[in-house]
Amino acid sequence: MIDLPKIPSFRLDGKRAVVVGASSGIGLGCAVALASAGASVTIVSRRINLLSNIVNSINQKGWRSDSQKLDITDVVEINNFFEIQETFDIAVFSAGIAKHTIAIETNENDYDNVMSVNTKGAYFFAQAFAERLISQNSPGSLIFISSQMSKVGGPERAVYSGSKHALEGFQKSMATEWGPYGIRVNSICPTFIQTPLTESTFSNKERLRWIKEKIKLGRVGEVEDIMGAVIFLASESSSLITGTSIVIDGGWTSS
């Protein structure tokens, strides 16, 4: 008989997770995935009124969740949130907005709105999460929901793409600094996913044709396509993975 390697667990029993932007779409999928794997999940959003039905639906499955209001554009509010909560082992930043215009027509207000959520919010949320872990001498996993647009560019997406490129830069530097404390920092980079946020894009036949031509597997993404990756990056199965991204793009960036 030989000693066979032990398969790492994908289970998250006993872990506490916080998911930002979980009121719909990818963030909701992340919250459901983590809860299904055994984590106790706190879902947060500025739109607190949208969260009660989500929490009820998750808990009716026999999983554990609760909700909190949090404006991730307010740094003071972010810090206060982490100060009053029990320490989280897992954090998923899935909040994001897009204001699609051709670059020459981007206005200052749209630029500031995108950056306040996609970059500033992400940065200071990550900082507060890591600061709490470091003070408690605890390891953890931080997962940014980024985008395939962090790897490429696209028409009418200069600001959005720029914000996601910045997110990838945060991820690599944070992973370098926080690795010695056992804090892993990674991102998930999806292609176009069928969510309320992308309805206007998919309703444009010309744009939909362009998207499907780019995706080698010939279909747009579904929220379910993201759920396995978030469990993986949150679990011990990815314990040696940090400072990198999982690109879920159907082959968009392969050529």
Beta strands in 161-210 (DSSP E): 183-190
Structure tokens at 169: 């830069």
Task: Write out the H or E segment, with its range, that includes residue 63.
Answer: none
Cα separation, 83 vs 104, in Å, equals 42
The closest alpha carbon to 147, from 123, 129, 166, belongs to: 166
Instruction: Using CB atoms within 10 Å of the CB of residue 105, give its burial: 0 to 12 exposed, 13 to 18 middle, 19+ buried.
Output: exposed
3-class DSSP state of 49 = helix
CB contact at 8 A, 193 and 26: yes
Q: Residues 34, 17: contact at Cβ < 8 Å?
A: yes
Which residues are the active-site residues? 160
CB 133 within 8 A of CB 181: yes
The CA distance from 173 to 193, in Å, is 27
Calpha distance 173→186 (Å, rounded):
11
